[in-house]
């Protein structure tokens, strides 16, 4: 199904125009698997689309097609690559309302979250549009007379992208756009809960922007059928994966331990601490904690999982935080007043519900709690959480947060670092130098002073430490990830070769 003619996008499209029942391999085609994926509105179960899945043979076609077209794409002048990427961003902007509505319907996003996500995707494209003119090499001296050393930055070839269901549109685009900008072909496998906004929606957008057909392909399918095959395939030179740490470990092992060794970029789970020091502006900290904990139902790798508060202001913070959270509206994500919508699927509801029950059993004190109705879990706040509780140790991925009392600043730092994860973090203090000193000792890829842990800017590096991943996304760091160095030497002198 082609939505636009040769003249480009004629007019703003409706949500239905962006929904496809096909996969995208050198154009719109039916998958050849015996299975299908049906994607639903998480709140009411209404069907968004049913897509015939891709088989392993379809994965072969997708990778082969991308590899063939990539040879020509790599030679396309930077200005032409940039023009296509900027046009893709314009397609999103021209159709923002329809795209936001689709994100809300398929991923259970509120209006606030869906608009943030659309903005992030546009920013990724516009930043990536600068990459083709920013890819540079080096000329290095040689110890051999008459010899010159050149180091060229070349495209990897084909990149395989596996994206998650929580911010599917933005997190797919965060890998796809820079990979294309650096001269690569791309095959995208979106999460089965969000195959439209995390997958085929991007195909519609790039098709409208004039990207060469076949350079970018989308395969929808179950991990049990094509997951490992997608990663271990001989063609992709890098697998970019965003998702949980357990699955990320498996992806990394498969990519580096199989027959065809390849690079990996892994953005994995988190257990973000937000530290409130004794001199913090408590009102600002309360507002940030609410946003950071409950945006998109807490289903964000950067979401505030643990709020660590110095003892002198613990009670004051807890009182203000509980009062604010108790007023947060929850329910149908398509109601613009809703701030906390549905959890993505039943298994995730079961997981989060289990964490709530266990928190009570382990002695955490519930200061805010509410009903669980269908897939909607009302915001929950637990106080007096201790390091031996699961609520402290595990990523929650739901509208639940624990508050921890710290004896002093050093104890707060110890608590913040007491985790296997190290993605994002935050610290609140009115003394900025104190904040910087504290932030630099946090074992995380990102620490924000007087701001929420949920931060992403397309030109600033994004990534974690420890079990939160490998590699860096965004800006010049993305250029490094999606290109490779090639040493080419030229000898013009005459040398004696003794053998």
Judged against a pLDDT cut of 80, whether residue 276 lies above it is answered with: yes
What's the confidence (pLDDT) of residue 266?
Answer: 97
Residue-level pLDDT at 304 = 98
Let me know whether 58 and 151 are in one domain.
Answer: yes
B/e letters for 409-433, b = 16+ CB within 10 Å, e = fewer, are: beebbebbebbebbbbbbbbbeeee
**203 and 298 housed in the same domain:** no
Q: Does 68 fall in a domain?
A: yes
**Structure tokens, 88:** 């893709």
Burial of 377 (0-12, 13-18, 19+ CB in 10 A): buried
Contact 51, 37 (CB under 8 A): yes
Say yes or no: 279 and 423 in one domain: yes
Residue 9 has pLDDT above 60, yes or no: no
Number of domains in the chain: 2
Looking at the fold, whether 289 and 264 belong to one and the same domain comes out as no
The model's confidence at residue 7, banded by pLDDT at 50, 70 and 90, is very low
* 224, 307: one domain: no
pLDDT tens for residues 57-93? 999 999 999 999 999 999 999 999 999 999 999 999 9
404 occurs within a structural domain: yes
Q: pLDDT digit string (tens) for 207-226?
A: 999 999 999 999 999 999 99
What's the maximum distance between 2 C-alpha atoms anywhere in the chain? 83
Q: Is residue 3 part of a domain?
A: no
Active site residue ranges = 267
Query: Which CATH number does the domain housing residue 377 bear?
Result: 3.40.309.10
Domain membership of residue 225 (yes or no) is yes
Confidence label for 496 from pLDDT (cuts 50, 70 and 90): low
Determine, yes or no, domain membership for 10: no
Q: Residues 241, 309: one domain? A: no
Please, which residues have CB within 8 angstroms of residue 190's CB and are 6 or more apart in sequence? 163, 168, 172, 198, 199, 200, 218, 220
Q: Do residue 297 and residue 184 come from a single domain?
A: no
Q: Is the pTM of this model over 0.85?
A: yes
- Within 10 A of 360 (CB to CB), how many other CB atoms are there? 14
Domain co-membership, 90 together with 199: yes
Closest CA to 71 of 155, 170, 187: 155
Q: What percentage of the chain carries pLDDT values higher than 70?
A: 97
Distance CA 243, CA 32 (A): 26
372 and 415, same domain (yes or no): yes
> Which residue range(s) make up the domain with 341?
272-449
Residue 495 has pLDDT above 70, yes or no: no
Residue 357 domain-assigned (yes or no): yes
CATH no. for residue 109?
3.40.605.10
Residue 497 resides in a domain? no
161 and 195 in a single domain? The answer is yes
Considering the domain architecture, whether residues 29 and 178 belong to the same structural domain is answered as yes
Evaluate whether residue 444 is within a structural domain.
yes
234 and 323, same domain (yes or no): no
Mean pLDDT value across residues 418-431: 98
């Amino acid at each position: 199904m082609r939505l636009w003619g040769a003249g480009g996008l004629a007019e703003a499209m409706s949500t239905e125009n962006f929904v496809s029942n096909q996969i995208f391999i050198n154009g719109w085609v039916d998958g050849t698997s015996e299975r299908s994926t049906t994607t639903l509105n998480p709140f009411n179960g209404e069907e968004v689309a049913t897509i015939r899945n891709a088989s392993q043979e379809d994965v072969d076609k997708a990778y082969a097609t991308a590899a063939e077209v990539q040879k020509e794409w790599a030679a396309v002048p930077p200005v032409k690559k940039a023009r296509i990427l900027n046009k893709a961003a314009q397609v999103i902007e021209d159709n923002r309302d329809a795209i936001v509505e689709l994100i809300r319907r398929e991923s259970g996003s509120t209006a606030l979250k869906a608009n943030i996500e659309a903005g992030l995707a546009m920013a990724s494209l516009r930043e990536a549009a600068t990459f083709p003119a920013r890819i540079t090499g080096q000329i290095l001296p040689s110890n051999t007379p008459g010899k010159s050393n050149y180091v060229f930055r070349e495209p990897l070839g084909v990149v395989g992208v596996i994206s998650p269901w929580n911010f599917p549109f933005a997190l797919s685009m965060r890998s796809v756009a820079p990979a294309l900008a650096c001269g690569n072909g791309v095959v995208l496998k979106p999460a089965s809960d969000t195959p439209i906004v995390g997958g085929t929606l991007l195909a519609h957008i790039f098709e409208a922007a004039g990207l060469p057909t076949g350079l970018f392909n989308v395969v929808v399918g179950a991990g049990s059928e094509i997951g490992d095959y997608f990663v271990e395939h001989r063609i992709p030179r890098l697998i970019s994966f965003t998702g949980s740490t357990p699955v990320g470990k498996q992806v990394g092992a498969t990519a580096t331990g199989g027959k065809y060794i390849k690079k990996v970029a892994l953005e994995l789970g988190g257990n973000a601490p937000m530290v409130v020091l004794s001199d913090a502006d408590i009102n600002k900290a309360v507002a940030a904690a609410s946003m950071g904990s409950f945006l998109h139902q807490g289903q964000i790798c950067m979401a505030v999982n643990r709020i660590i508060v110095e003892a002198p202001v613990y009670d004051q913070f807890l009182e203000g935080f509980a009062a604010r959270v108790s007023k947060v509206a929850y329910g149908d994500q398509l109601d613009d007043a809703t701030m906390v919508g549905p959890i993505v699927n039943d298994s995730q509801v079961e997981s989060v519900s289990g964490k709530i029950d266990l928190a009570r059993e382990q002695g955490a004190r519930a200061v805010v709690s509410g009903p669980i109705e269908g897939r909607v879990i009302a915001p929950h706040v637990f106080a007096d959480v201790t390091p031996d509780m699961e609520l402290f140790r595990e990523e929650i991925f739901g509208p639940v947060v624990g508050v921890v009392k710290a004896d002093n600043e050093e104890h707060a730092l110890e608590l913040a670092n007491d985790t296997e994860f190290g993605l994002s973090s935050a610290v609140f203090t009115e003394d900025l130098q104190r904040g910087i000193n504290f932030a630099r000792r946090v074992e995380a890829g990102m620490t924000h002073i007087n701001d929420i842990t949920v931060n992403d800017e397309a030109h600033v590096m994004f990534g974690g430490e420890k079990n939160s991943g490998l590699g860096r996304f965004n800006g010049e760091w993305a250029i490094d990830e999606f290109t490779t160095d090639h040493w080419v030497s030229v000898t013009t002198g005459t040398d004696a070769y003794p053998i």
